[in-house]
Structure 1
Amino acid sequence: MKKIFLHYVILQTLTFAWSTPPSYELTQDFWNNPNFVRSFMGDYGFRSEIEPRYSKSEQGILREVIAKAENQLDEAIVYLEKKISPKSSAALDFALATMYYQKGRLTRSEQSYSSALLKFPSFLRAHKNLGFVKLGLGNYEEAASSLSKSISLGEGDGVTYVALGYCYYVLEQFVSAENAYRMGILLFPESKDARNGLVNCLLETSRFPEALALLNELLKKEPENVFCHRARASALQGLGKEKDATVALETLRRMGNLNNNDLIRLGDLYHNLNLYELSLTNYERAILNNEKLPIQKYVRVASILMQRGSYIDCFSYLDKIDSIFGKSYSPQNEKDVLLLKAEVLKATGKTEESSNILRDVVAKHPLEGRALIMLGHHAWEDHDHTLAEMFFERAAKIEDVEVKALIEHARMLVSIRSYEKAARLLEKAQEISPEARVGRYLESIRNLLLSARVRL
């Protein structure tokens, strides 16, 4: 907790209490840094063009607030609330907003800063502080607008630019974020948030060589910097240097700073390098750690294991997902896991068990196109072409899988020499989403039809 004193003919304490954020968010250091404190406080001068005037009686009110706020902040708030009216100075609203902020009442703080601006629209510090409050509330677009307005009125400190950069970053306006972060670095060179934000912008815009050069420079100064090692792995991966990226992440492991996201990334890298045992080892470490990621990340890992033909490992991983997350499955989670299990069972020859799972899925989720297509394949393999056609036709009515259903239906029809109908289905698929490989397949079927007509 950090106390600051705000002087605009008012002096009071201000508290910051922000939860520890993920690495891509503004760090706790940003809010507790003395530069932020000074930025929020402002200077002691008086600039009539950007600061509201106040009467002698209002000056007395503010002095009374100062005296109460030192040890009786709640009483100071109640006292000041009674003194504010539509005709009172914006300085009173500003002071009240700051005390609300100190108490963590961000919504009330936002309202009071807004009231101050209604009375005095060019109130620079009210715009800036309102931007910080909106940032704390997660209203990034409005925060960016308030912070930009304060800059246009003459604000020029690095903290404001760093906060503005972060707002743009969250809004995925990466070029604007980069510009703000660069200004932040010039004006607030010791800010890690500005530097980290700039690195993230370079990575988001695929400027991997520039990001790597900057990270290498930073690591010379801070060889133990965890963020830089992690970001360096991303830059190397973006450049296709996957072996070097694994080295960067293994460096984090030796430092004792490899988290679950890193373990999954390392598993992916080893998978891409065809080092499947190392890949599996890291995937399993990720799910067995106490720190848990969203279940979708683990389902994706199971899908990778399935796609590379590691069926036993995939089923084992799915069992781990079941044992850890089973009681907290959402309907979507449960469906995704069951569909993967059905795929593994089918791939390992357990067709009946796979079909039973798929029927259960369709009973609960009638519009689950992936399950319908898989059931169509089961029926096709059992030579029940009528049932297969029914499943494919049902799937084709679902937009997300319509094209895939049409193509699979056409493939089945080709297998029973129903070329003309198959061609019509493929033509429809090509109208919706043209694909070169499907176009070649359609052309070959048309050639078969032409040959058959010539023979007749």
Structure 2
Amino acid sequence: MKHSTVILMAGAACFSATALRSESAGWEEPRLRKEFLGSYGIDSRVEPDLSDTQREVLQQLEPLLRDDKSRAVTVLEEAGKTEPSARYDFLLGNLKLEAGRVEEAKRHYSDAIRKFPNYRQAYKNLGLILAQEQDFPMAAKALSKVLELGEADGTAYGLLARCHQAAGNLVAAESGFRQAVLLQPDVLDWRRGLLATFIRQRKTSDAIALADELIARDPENPEFHLQKGQVQLASGDLEGAAATLELVARAGWAKAPELHQLGDIYLKQEQPQLALSAYRRAFALDPAQAPAKCLRAVEVLAASRAPVEAAELAAAFRSTFGERIEAPDRARLARIEARIALAQKADERAAALLREATEADPLDGDAWMLLGKYHADRKEEERAIFMYERAAGIEAFKADAKVKIAQLLVGQSKLQEAVGLLKEAQQLRPRDSIARYLEQVEKVLKSRSGGR
């Protein structure tokens, strides 16, 4: 049966933040007037009957709906005082909602339901509002009632599916989105929701098939390509994910995060040249992005044993971000570049970079430790000890630095000092390997002192 409503909103698949869109532009059409006045008949199971008085009031409202909706509200409110009616409350809810008075609209819909407990359209409109407000538990109750009362409507199924999705009820959400797609095949939101449930349930083949369908329907929409790439990545299809993200990038749709992710994928595939390309594009695309995020790319590329590519990316990082690099990141960058230089056997450059790191951040324990190793490798024991002592002044590096100093002292036959430092290191962080080394040094010390 047809519904009598002032504002025909039952079929709206989209719902604005301020009001359900009015479809009363053609109010003069006889069909709409008959629906409004109940001339097509009323389904008494799901909407209240119209009394003669109510029908007269609705006739008075016809011109006001077109010319003076605020006056229409007044007429309905006055009529409701004389003859309380669920239908009046419902119509007031529609008008208040259209005016952006959402809380009042919710109250009117609730009053309509209280007066007529099976008022299906009131449940539906209330459910639409609650879903828009992301009050998913209450929205689910209202929308479930709509379906219980016999409305096979794509909007109700789709929004109820979203409620289940928000609650983590993914099987129910999938079922609801499938029904919504069946009833409203042209509403992409329902397919988006269905795709999200596939992804969360790790239904890889279903998700990719649906993503491909969405891409075929709207090939210029980057959202669907990106979702397909994420599914491929999650399923371990690195080659497919890289191809999809590369397509997105070459189409000009990618943002810096996607290019960073593409670089990471190439690194997992042990393709440092391609990773370098992706990371450099990420830098260039958004020079205003946080330098720390990009410095991470330099770091992971350096750790992948690709010193040439890592050196190029480090240079690109310095060129792109320049004076925006803050002291901690400058120290971190210098330390990364020093490791790259060491991997390339450029020891002097490495030492210079490490000194730059300690100047930028005197508490950079990693840099002090690497400088200590640099001087120790060159047999410059006193310089090495000095560097390790600086590292030992930083709590996180104290134990390791003391062990390094002790090892250098052993080489200088200063066993008694070495034993003391090793014992201090063990108190800070006990380790079996250091315990064995300490035992060996103590044995040598005891043998040299004649067993005393």
Q: TM-score range by the shorter chain?
A: 0.5 to 0.7
Query: What is the CA–CA distance in structure 1 between the aligned matches of 2:355 and 2:115, rounded to whole Å?
Result: 74
In 1, Cα distance between the equivalents of 2:401 and 2:335? 18
Paired residue for 1:346, among 335, 352, 373? 335
Q: Distance in 2 between matches of 1:339 and 1:87?
A: 74
* Equivalent residue, structure 1, for 2:143: 147
8 Å Cα contact 2:211-2:224 kept in structure 1: yes
After superposition, the C-alpha distances for 1:199-226 in whole angstroms (9 at most, x for unaligned) are 2222223332332244456666776665
**1:10 correspondence with 2:31:** no
Determine whether 1:302 maps to 2:324: no
Specify the SS of the correspondent of 2:84: coil
Shift, 1:172, TM fit: 4.9
Please, which of 393, 400, 404 is the counterpart of residue 411 of structure 1?
Answer: 400
CA distance 1:68–1:8, change in 2 (3 Å): farther
| Aligned twin of 1:132 | 128
> Aligned equivalents of 1:414 and 1:60: distance in 2?
96
How many Å apart are 1:343 and its aligned residue? 0.6
Equivalent in 181, 190, 198 of residue 185 of structure 1: 181
1:89 aligns with 2:85: yes
Whole-angstrom CA distance in 1 between matches of 2:422 and 2:88: 81
Match of 2:263 in 1: 267
Q: Is the 8 A contact 1:246 1:266 kept in 2?
A: yes
For 1:446 and 1:154, the matched residues in 2 are separated by 77
Matched-pair contact (CA < 8 Å) for 1:252–1:258: yes
**Shift in alpha-carbon separation, 1:146–1:222, aligned structure 2, 3 A:** same
2:295 and 2:333 in contact (8 A); partners too: no
Change (3 A) 1:8 1:184: closer
Query: Is residue 197 from structure 1 mapped to residue 193 from structure 2 by the alignment?
Result: yes
Match of 2:244 in 1: 248
Distance 1:129 1:443, change over 3 A: farther
Q: Which residue of 2 aligns with 1:434?
A: none
8 Å Cα contact 1:355/1:378 also seen in 2:
yes
Residue aligning to 1:24: none
| TM-score, scaled to structure 2 | 0.65
Describe the shift of the 1:186–1:355 C-alpha distance in structure 2 as closer, same or farther (beyond 3 A): same
Q: Please show how residues 27-176 of structure 1 align to structure 2 within 5 Å.
A: 46-52=42-48, 55-84=51-80, 88-170=84-166, 172-176=168-172
Q: Which runs of 5+ in 2 are unaligned?
A: 24-34, 303-309, 338-351, 373-385, 407-420, 447-452
How do 1:359-438 and structure 2 match up within 5 A?
A: 375-377=364-366, 383=386, 391-392=394-395, 405=396, 408-416=397-405, 418=421, 422=425
Give the match for residue 444 of structure 1: 433
How many angstroms apart in 2 are the aligned matches of 1:424 and 1:176?
Answer: 58
1:285-340 per-residue CA deviation (whole Å, 9 max, x = no partner) reads 44554xx79946x74333122232236634644764678xx7xxxxxxx9xx6543
Matches of 2:251 and 2:389 in 1, distance apart?
61
User: Aligned in 2, Cα 1:31/1:192: closer, same or farther, shift over 3 Å?
Assistant: farther
Task: Give a deviation string over 1:390-433, Cα, whole Å, max 9, x none.
Answer: 643xxxxxxxxxxxx5xx55434543555566556557xxxxxx
Could you tell me whether the CA contact under 8 Å between 1:96 and 1:109 is conserved in 2? yes
Q: Distance in 2 between matches of 1:170 and 1:338?
A: 43
Identity %: 24
Asked if structure 1 preserves the Cα contact closer than 8 Å seen for 2:73 and 2:95, the reply is yes
Q: Secondary structure at the match of 1:182?
A: helix
- The structure-2 alpha-carbon separation of the partners of 1:304 and 1:285, relative to structure 1 and needing over 3 Å to count, comes to closer
**Stretch of structure 1 that moved more, 349-358 or 241-250:** 349-358
Match for residue 431 of structure 1?
Answer: none
The answer for the alignment partner of 1:231 in structure 2 is 227
Q: Secondary structure at the match of 2:67?
A: coil
Q: Distance in 2 between matches of 1:51 and 1:199?
A: 36
Q: Distance in 1 between matches of 2:318 and 2:130?
A: 42
| Maintained 8 Å contact 1:410/1:426 | yes
The one-letter code of the counterpart of 2:188 is K
Q: Go from structure 1 to structure 2 and tell me whether the alpha carbon gap of 1:449 and 1:76 turns closer, same or farther (over 3 Å shift).
A: farther
- One-letter code aligned to 1:9: S
Kept after mapping to 2: 8 A contact 1:12/1:66: no
2: CA distance, partners of 1:58 / 1:187:
34
- Write the distance in 2 (CA, Å) between the matches of 1:211 and 1:376: 47
Match of 1:209 among 205, 217, 227: 205
Q: Distance in 2 between the 1:318 and 1:31 partners?
A: 52
- Asked if the contact 2:399–2:424 (Cα under 8 Å) also holds between the matched residues in 1, the reply is yes
Moved more, 66-75 or 253-262: 253-262
**Do the aligned partners of 2:287 and 2:320 also contact (CA within 8 Å) in 1?**
no
Q: Is the 8 A contact 1:9 1:62 kept in 2?
A: no
Q: Secondary structure at the match of 1:189?
A: coil
CA RMSD of aligned residues (A): 4.4
1:311/1:192 CA distance change after superposition, 3 Å: same
Aligned to 1:399: none
Q: Is the 8 A contact 1:117 1:127 kept in 2?
A: yes
The alpha-carbon deviation at position 445 of structure 1 amounts to: 4.1
1:401 aligns with: none
Alignment partner of 2:185: what SS? Answer: coil
Aligned residue identity for 1:160: A
Pair 242,80 (structure 1): closer, same or farther in 2 beyond 3 Å: same
Q: How many Å separate the matches in 2 of 1:31 and 1:453?
A: 86
Alpha carbons 2:299, 2:336 under 8 Å: kept: no
